[in-house]
Amino acid sequence: MPAGIKGGAVLRIAGLLAMGCGGSTSLLPNGPDASDQGETGATADGREGQVTDDVAQVPDDTGQEATNASGQTSDADDEGEAGMVAPGDDGSSDGPEAGADAEAGESLTDVAVSDSESSESGCADAGPCVPNGNPCKQGALACSSGVLLCAVVGNLPDGTSCGAGAVCFAGQCADCVAGSPCSPAGDPCHTGVTSCSTGRPICASTSSVADGTACTGGMCCGGQCAMCNTPDHAAAACRGSTCDFVCGAGRSACAHTCADTTSDSQACGPTCAVCPLGSMCVASQCTPVFKYGDFTPYTPCQMNGAQTFTANYLLGERVYVDTAIQLTALGVIASPAEPTSGVDGILALYTDSGGLPVSLVARTATATIAPGNSLLPVEMPVALPVGNYWIMGEYDATPSICVDNSSSNPAAYIKLGGYGSVPPTLSNVQALSGIDFNYYVVGTQ
């Protein structure tokens, strides 16, 4: 390249000044006269000063002053004594030839902003950049008034990574850790992972949680929150995406109940049959039953005067069984006025000796005595030969049992130490007369 002012050292210097040292974007300023600077000016090879850091005097054959990076100037007439020259290939100075190419009256600043020479000066539109250190803005290098600037041309696409655990959204860098586990909103029956593709954290469903996981109103089944309606003696269980139930041990599903189909007369056997009147469910079969005692409700319940039952007393009547049976249950009929919350009671069957109860044959578990008829299964069915027996009742509070005070049937009572203590053998029993209780014995053959 010719060593003229425009095509050589001056434009390289102007380009460096336009870029600035350490990011400076200012142009060369015109400074005061510093004609004596030529006596100490730097050489082009950097021994006294560097061209890129301390832009020294540049000769102009018109005699104009050139500005250095320190704002000082020197006369071109003094160039012969100490002016900066650009070295040639052989180490000789290109200064005299450079001065010959400069146009009269043209300043260094004018040269720096010349469009035709901007590419040589180092200020040219070129390549992308990061505006103001914002990694979510799209920038492009552009020359403006001879200064190379990073101009904002738009936002990077939402979801573009802008650092560890961060993505761009609307031109700003925001926290978002892609792939982190999460719980999808409004979907308790799925697990999820975080997606940052839109620039915002979004929990995307990935898989169903385990069946049986609790959710509002039920439990998760097949990825759906299923409502459960579980009957007594059962546990909730999933069937596909619905909540069903499984009956407990010794129980079978009959419609929406879990029944003991071996003894439930309303759900007997594998078909959950309702046993006809006069029969009951025994060993999963509807079997004709035999009843002994007072199994027909008295009307009114307290016939011929009321009878008071006191808690913690064992009180009952004698009953005759005329056919050998398998004892299955004992029954009691309470007043319709008996509270639905009821009174807890236990029924027991004793042998007869000398017209009084003596030895325990069978008993029921404690149960609530509800209004009307209560048939309580004995804890263990037993063979019952023909003969006289005593059916006795014990209660934890005062019940309202139906009675007939005009009967001549024998009755008896004994005070106990507390509720639930059904003695295996009775002694010191007190006899009564003229009273019948709505007690009865049930069995099969």
Instruction: Flag whether 147 is in a domain.
Output: yes
Of 169, 185, 208, the domain-final residue: 208
Q: What are phi and psi of 364, to 5 degrees?
A: -100, 165
- Write the CA distances from 368 to 313, 340, 342, 345, 394, integer angstroms: 17, 9, 6, 6, 12
Lookup: tokens for 356: 């009084």
Determine the pLDDT at residue 67. 36
Q: What are phi and psi of 372, to 5 degrees?
A: 85, -150
Answer whether residue 412 shows pLDDT above 60: yes
Across the range 426-433, mean pLDDT stands at 89
C-beta of residue 150 within 8 angstroms of C-beta of residue 159: no
Range of the domain at 319: 287-444
Kind of pairing, strands 302-303 and 403-404? parallel
Lookup: tokens for 337: 């006025």
DSSP 93: B
Lookup: tokens for 373: 């008829």
Answer whether residue 85 shows pLDDT above 60: no
- Write the CA distances from 346 to 3, 231, 233, 313, 437, integer angstroms: 125, 26, 23, 11, 15
Instruction: Flag whether 281 is in a domain.
Output: no
Instruction: Flag whether 361 is in a domain.
Output: yes
Lookup: tokens for 315: 């009180």
DSSP 349-375: EEEEETTEEEEEEEEBPPEEE-SEEEE
What's the residue count for the chain?
445
Q: What are phi and psi of 385, to 5 degrees?
A: -70, 170
Instruction: Flag whether 234 is in a domain.
Output: no
With a CB cutoff of 8 Å and minimum separation 6, the contacts of 421 are: none
Do 170 and 153 lie in one domain? The reply is yes
Instruction: Flag whether 239 is in a domain.
Output: no
Confidence bin at 303 (pLDDT 50/70/90) = low
Instruction: Flag whether 213 is in a domain.
Output: no
Q: How far apart are CA 305 and CA 159, in angstroms?
A: 90
DSSP 84: -
Q: Other C-beta atoms within 10 Å of 6: how many?
A: 19
Across the range 369-378, mean pLDDT stands at 89
Q: What is the pTM of this model?
A: 0.45
User: Please, is 432 exposed, middle or buried when counting C-beta atoms within 10 Å of its C-beta (0-12, 13-18, 19+)?
Assistant: middle
Do 132 and 117 lie in one domain? The reply is no
Average pLDDT, the chain: 75
pLDDT of 332-370, one tens digit each? 998 887 776 678 999 999 999 999 999 999 999 999 888
Q: What percent of the chain has pLDDT over 70?
A: 70
DSSP 130-148: -GGG-TTEEEEEEEETTEE
Q: How many domains does the chain have?
A: 3
Lookup: tokens for 354: 């000398």
Do 367 and 404 lie in one domain? The reply is yes
Do 291 and 435 lie in one domain? The reply is yes
Task: Output the domain CATH number for residue 363.
Answer: 2.60.120
Do 177 and 325 lie in one domain? The reply is no
3-class DSSP state of 98: helix
Do 134 and 36 lie in one domain? The reply is no
pLDDT of 3-44, one tens digit each? 333 333 333 333 333 333 334 333 333 433 433 433 333 333
Do 105 and 203 lie in one domain? The reply is no
Kind of pairing, strands 403-404 and 436-437? antiparallel
Do 77 and 178 lie in one domain? The reply is no
Do 73 and 181 lie in one domain? The reply is no
Strand order in the sheet with 137-144: 128-129, 137-144, 147-155
Q: What is the dihedral of CA 72, 77, 82, 83, to 10 degrees?
A: 70
What is the maximal distance between C-alpha atoms in the chain? 157
Do 430 and 356 lie in one domain? The reply is yes
pLDDT of 190-244, one tens digit each? 999 999 999 999 999 999 999 999 999 899 999 999 999 999 999 999 999 999 9
Do 300 and 427 lie in one domain? The reply is yes
Q: What is the dihedral of CA 362, 364, 365, 368, to 10 degrees?
A: -160
3-class DSSP state of 96: helix
Q: Other C-beta atoms within 10 Å of 79: how many?
A: 25
Do 301 and 440 lie in one domain? The reply is yes
Of 208, 228, 259, the domain-final residue: 208
Instruction: Flag whether 356 is in a domain.
Output: yes
Of 160, 177, 208, the domain-final residue: 208
Q: By C-alpha distance, which of 441, 363, 440, 430 is closest to 402?
A: 440
Lookup result for tokens 């100037």: 73
Instruction: Flag whether 277 is in a domain.
Output: no
